[in-house]
Structures are given as structure tokens and as C-alpha cells.
């Protein structure tokens, strides 16, 4: 009886393994991504392109990534803990500070102080999402309550009626999918862009 050498046996096992590896790599690394990307671009072209927001022919941001607004004439978004700058899409992540960490308490106190200083006449409670960062650090949304808390400040500094600014917030409040998935949310960048259209900053 002929027994193949160990080298021949290894080669006999290695060849089909390599063939399967190449085929699966082509299928999952090339064909599948191309197919899903093509379908997405066909059915959802705006989302497949990054949900970009354009104004006057130029891209000013994405619906999916927040931006830092520091002027009190704008609505402020949720704080970001990304490094080295807020809303850094290349370094998505949270601060990883636990609820008992003194650094977290100090950061919240500083954010509360900044909001109070920007609108000292507003005695309303500050919504939590205005003083706590999201897990990704890129959240482009705030709650309707967080937007409405800021509406009196923005209306006063822009010289607009409060009711008009509140209507703008309502127009930019996204509803849960099918009325069940998610919470109502306001996209801060889109809101501020329309605010500039309504009344340019002074």
C-alpha cells in the first residue's frame, strides 16, 4: 500500500484552503460591499453619500456628526469629549468617566455655569443632555427640551419673537420611526443653518 509523504499531504490540504480563502475574500471583501453600496446609492442616495448638508453649493457638514457652536446667538449641541477637539469624527468616543468621578462632576458644573452665564435670566432647569456628553462624542442631536430651553436666549439675541424661534424648533424636531423607535430629537446644525436664514447673526 502506498502512503503519500507528509509534504504531499500538506500541499493537498493547503490548496483547497487557499482557494476557499480567496473566494470568500472576494465575496465578502469585494462583491458584497459593492452590491450593498450600489443598492444603497440607488435607494438612499443622500444617506449613502454621508447625509451631507450643502448650503450655497458647498458642503457645510453632515446630519450625522455634530459641530461645536459657542456663540450664544446659536443653539448649542450636546457636549463632546473627543480629542483633540470636540466632534472629532476620527476619534469617536466618550470620556469614560464614571458617575462618581469628580472630573465628571466638575465638567457638568462648568457646563451648567456656561449655560447660566449665557442666559442669566432663564431660571428653568437645564436638560441633562446639554451638560453630559454622548458615548460617541459626535451626537448631532439634542432633545426638544434642550432646544426649547435655549430658545429665549437665541430669540433675544437675534431680535426674533420667541414664538417664531419655538416654531423653528418644532419644524426641526424629528419624530420616532413608525412612532416607536427612538425619541424626538432636534438636529442642531440644520436648526442653526435655518436660523441664519431667518435672521443672520448680529
How far apart CA 8 and CA 18 sit, in angstroms, is 15
Mean pLDDT (the chain, rounded): 90
Most confident of the following: 47-51, 116-120, 198-202 = 116-120
| Confidence (pLDDT) at 46 | 83
Mean pLDDT over residues 3-18, rounded?
A: 70
- Give me the percent of the chain exceeding a pLDDT of 70: 95
Mean pLDDT over residues 28-47, rounded?
A: 88
Handedness of CA 178, 179, 185, 187 (dihedral sign): positive
| Confidence (pLDDT) at 179 | 63
Q: What are the DSSP calls for 164-175, one per residue?
A: HHHHHHHHTEEP
Mean pLDDT over residues 73-78, rounded?
A: 97
SS3 98: coil
Mean pLDDT over residues 113-117, rounded?
A: 97
**List of E strands, the chain:** 52-55, 58-62, 141-142, 173-174, 185-187
The pLDDT-based confidence of 187 (bands split at 50, 70, 90) is very high
How far apart CA 190 and CA 187 sit, in angstroms, is 6
What are the tens digits of pLDDT across the range 15-31?
888 999 999 999 999 99
| Confidence (pLDDT) at 4 | 52
What are the tens digits of pLDDT across the range 162-185?
999 999 999 999 988 766 778 999
Mean pLDDT over residues 5-21, rounded?
A: 76
| Confidence (pLDDT) at 40 | 86
Nearest to 87 by CA among 131, 138, 53, 51: 138
Nearest to 151 by CA among 195, 202, 109, 113: 195
pTM metric for this prediction:
0.80
Report the DSSP pairing between strands 185-187 and 58-62. unpaired
pLDDT at 76 over 70: yes
What are the tens digits of pLDDT across the range 82-92?
989 999 999 99
Nearest to 150 by CA among 160, 138, 139: 160
Amino acid at each position: 500500500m502506498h502512503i503519500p509523504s507528509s509534504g504531499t499531504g500538506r500541499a493537498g490540504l493547503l490548496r483547497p484552503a487557499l482557494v476557499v480563502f480567496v473566494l470568500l475574500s472576494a465575496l465578502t471583501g469585494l462583491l458584497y460591499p459593492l452590491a450593498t453600496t450600489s443598492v444603497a446609492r440607488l435607494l438612499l442616495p443622500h444617506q449613502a453619500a454621508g447625509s451631507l448638508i450643502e448650503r450655497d453649493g458647498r458642503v457645510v457638514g453632515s446630519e450625522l456628526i455634530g459641530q461645536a457652536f459657542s456663540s450664544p446667538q446659536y443653539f448649542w449641541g450636546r457636549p463632546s469629549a473627543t480629542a483633540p477637539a470636540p466632534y472629532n469624527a476620527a476619534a469617536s468616543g466618550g470620556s469614560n468617566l464614571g458617575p462618581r468621578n469628580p472630573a465628571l462632576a466638575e465638567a457638568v458644573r462648568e457646563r451648567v455655569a456656561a449655560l447660566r452665564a449665557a442666559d442669566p435670566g432663564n431660571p428653568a432647569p437645564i436638560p441633562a443632555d446639554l451638560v453630559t456628553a454622548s458615548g460617541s462624542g459626535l451626537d448631532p442631536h439634542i432633545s426638544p427640551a434642550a432646544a426649547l430651553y435655549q430658545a429665549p436666549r437665541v430669540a433675544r439675541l437675534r431680535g426674533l419673537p420667541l414664538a417664531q424661534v419655538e416654531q423653528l424648533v418644532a419644524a426641526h424636531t424629528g419624530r420616532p420611526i413608525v412612532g416607536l423607535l427612538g425619541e424626538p430629537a432636534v438636529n442642531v446644525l440644520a436648526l442653526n443653518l435655518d436660523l441664519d436664514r431667518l435672521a443672520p447673526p448680529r
